[in-house]
């Protein structure tokens, strides 16, 4: 089982849901780094969730840093963090040895590891393993912000139970529409040809974009929405699913504001490749979109052209940013826009049927345990974390590349 990842920043996950602990060993954090552990604790608490539709299992968010950290600073040697497992009920999973859950990793894990895997609580495939990733994500985000103070990662619930929130592109279109009335018609780059009002428009537009970033940053992180009037409707849907012993998926939209320019190593280490790989490491993620995503299918090229209307501090500025801040697998300085599509949790208590590995018959399955009806709120700090980890690794690669080029 390969549980290590990364290039310039490397990390290894270990442990299982009901083992003594889960944890992570990290290499590549610069020596002398200092962190705000209050922020890390906040991210871990958000991942735990506290909504009525979340699992009643109360996982500890306390941790032990057992190496690589001394006198409030990193030492430069491997940093290992442990999260002790508590409040486990392993008996709830005994029948899954012979009756693998539909849509879960039970069956494939048994085949791959010859039934030697720890099946309790999903073992190494459990969402519990995302806890150390949230820790690392909080570290890497702080490291990025120390070098790029305006950098931020902000996610919101884009869609849940058939209810759609305002999207990033809704906000960007509204900003342009509002400025159109002042500029009197602007539809493409032709507006900026020898136009004495172009500079004023760009200045106002950049201010509007900064306002969008601030709006994203100011969402309620426990249930982030741009249209807060939708929260009650979404929560009601989640509670209804819980009461019906069912589950729900959703879509998370993430905006990375003010990312560094020129990150990404095409072909195989492009920004999309690395981010998608990390996002697909989160078990509930089944699809990923960048920029305009699936909406490109029905578009003409003339309607989604990202004409560059300005270059400021080496960063490109377009009107709509349809490509989500990435061209040719490399960041162009605009906001990175990515959406993660989540499947509903597979462990539901409605009647299900599965193959019994001993009787060789399809039989009724009884699922016990404490499971989420929806993790739409709990998964956001995980998504933010894996994006931060991936981008920090790309920053380190870019830094190494610059050293090679310039000595």
pLDDT band, residue 368 (cuts 50/70/90): confident
pLDDT at 338: 98
Mean pLDDT of all residues in 254-265: 97
367 has a pLDDT exceeding 60: yes
18 has a pLDDT exceeding 90: no
- What is the C-alpha to C-alpha distance for residues 92 and 138, in angstroms, rounded to an integer? 32
Mean pLDDT of all residues in 168-175: 95
Mean pLDDT of all residues in 200-226: 96
pLDDT at 94: 73
pLDDT band, residue 119 (cuts 50/70/90): confident
Q: How far is the CA of 348 from the CAs of 95, 101, 110, 145, in angstroms? A: 15, 9, 21, 40
Mean pLDDT of all residues in 149-158: 98
Question: Which range (71-85, 154-168, 284-298, 390-404) has the least confidence?
Answer: 390-404
- What is the C-alpha to C-alpha distance for residues 266 and 292, in angstroms, rounded to an integer? 21
- What is the C-alpha to C-alpha distance for residues 9 and 392, in angstroms, rounded to an integer? 8
pLDDT band, residue 126 (cuts 50/70/90): confident
Mean pLDDT of all residues in 322-346: 97
pLDDT at 400: 82
59, 11, 95: which is closest to 378 by C-alpha? 59
Mean pLDDT of the chain: 92
Mean pLDDT of all residues in 10-29: 93
pLDDT at 92: 59
pLDDT at 88: 60
| Higher per-residue confidence, 403 vs 72 | 72
- What is the C-alpha to C-alpha distance for residues 199 and 205, in angstroms, rounded to an integer? 10
3-state secondary structure the chain: CCCEEECCCEEEEEECCCCCEEEEEEECCCCCCCCCHHHHHHHHHHHHCCCCCCCCCCCCCCCEEEECEECCEECCCCEEEEEECCCCCHHHHHHHHCCCCCCCCHHHHHHHCCCCCCCHHHHHHCHHHHHHHHHHHHHHHHHHHHHCCCCEEEEEEEEECCEECCCHHHHHHHHHHHHHHHHCCCCCHHHHCCCCCHHHHHHHHHHHHHHHHHHHHCCCCCCCCCCHHHHHHHHHHHHHHHHCCCCCCEEEEEEEECCCCCCCECCCECHHHHHHHHHCCCCCEEEEEECCHHHHHHCCHHHCCCCEEEEECCEEEECCCCCCCEECCEECCCCEEEEEEECCCCCCCCCEEEEECCCCEEEEECCCCCCCCCCCCCCHHHHHHHHHHHHHHHHHHHHHHHHHHHC
pLDDT at 57: 65
385 has a pLDDT exceeding 80: yes
pLDDT at 404: 55
202 has a pLDDT exceeding 60: yes
1 has a pLDDT exceeding 70: no
- What is the C-alpha to C-alpha distance for residues 312 and 210, in angstroms, rounded to an integer? 14
pLDDT band, residue 113 (cuts 50/70/90): confident
Give the contacts of 276 (CB within 8 A, at least 6 positions apart).
288
């Amino acid at each position: 089982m390969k549980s290590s990842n990364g290039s310039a920043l490397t990390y290894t996950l270990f442990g299982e849901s009901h083992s003594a602990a889960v944890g992570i060993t990290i290499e590549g954090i610069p020596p002398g780094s200092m962190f705000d552990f209050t922020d890390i604790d906040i991210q871990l608490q958000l991942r735990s969730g506290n909504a009525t539709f979340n699992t009643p299992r109360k996982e500890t968010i306390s941790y032990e840093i057992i190496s690589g950290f001394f006198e409030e600073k990193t030492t430069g040697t491997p940093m290992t963090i442990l999260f002790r497992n508590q409040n486990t009920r392993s008996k709830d999973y005994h029948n899954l040895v012979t009756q693998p859950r539909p849509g879960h990793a039970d069956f494939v894990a048994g085949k791959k590891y010859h039934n030697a895997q720890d099946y309790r609580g999903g073992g190494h495939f459990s969402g519990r393993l995302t806890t150390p990733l949230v820790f690392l994500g909080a570290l890497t985000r702080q490291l990025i912000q120390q070098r790029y103070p305006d950098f931020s990662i902000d996610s919101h619930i884009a869609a849940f139970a058939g209810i759609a929130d305002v999207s990033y592109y809704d906000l960007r279109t509204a900003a342009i529409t509002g400025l159109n009335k002042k500029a009197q018609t602007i539809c493409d780059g032709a507006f900026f040809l020898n136009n004495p009002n172009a500079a004023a428009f760009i200045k106002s537009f950049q201010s509007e974009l900064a306002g969008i970033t601030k709006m994203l940053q100011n969402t309620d992180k426990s249930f982030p929405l741009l249209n807060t009037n939708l929260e009650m409707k979404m929560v009601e849907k989640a509670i209804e699913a819980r009461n019906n012993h069912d589950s729900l998926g959703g879509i998370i939209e993430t905006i990375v504001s003010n990312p560094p320019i020129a990150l990404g190593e095409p072909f195989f280490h492009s920004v999309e490749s690395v981010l998608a790989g990390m996002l697909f490491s989160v078990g509930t993620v089944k699809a990923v979109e960048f920029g305009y995503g699936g909406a490109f299918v029905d578009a003409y090229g003339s309607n989604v052209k990202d004409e560059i209307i300005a270059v400021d501090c080496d960063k490109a500025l377009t009107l709509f940013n349809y490509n989500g801040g990435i061209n040719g697998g490399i960041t162009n300085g605009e906001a990175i826009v990515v959406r993660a599509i989540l499947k509903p949790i597979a462990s539901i208590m409605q009647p299900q049927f599965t193959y019994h590995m001993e009787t060789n018959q399809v039989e009724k399955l009884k699922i016990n345990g404490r499971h989420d009806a929806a993790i739409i709120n709990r998964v956001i700090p995980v998504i933010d974390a894996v994006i931060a980890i991936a981008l920090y690794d790309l920053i380190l690669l870019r830094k190494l590349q610059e050293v090679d080029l310039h000595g």
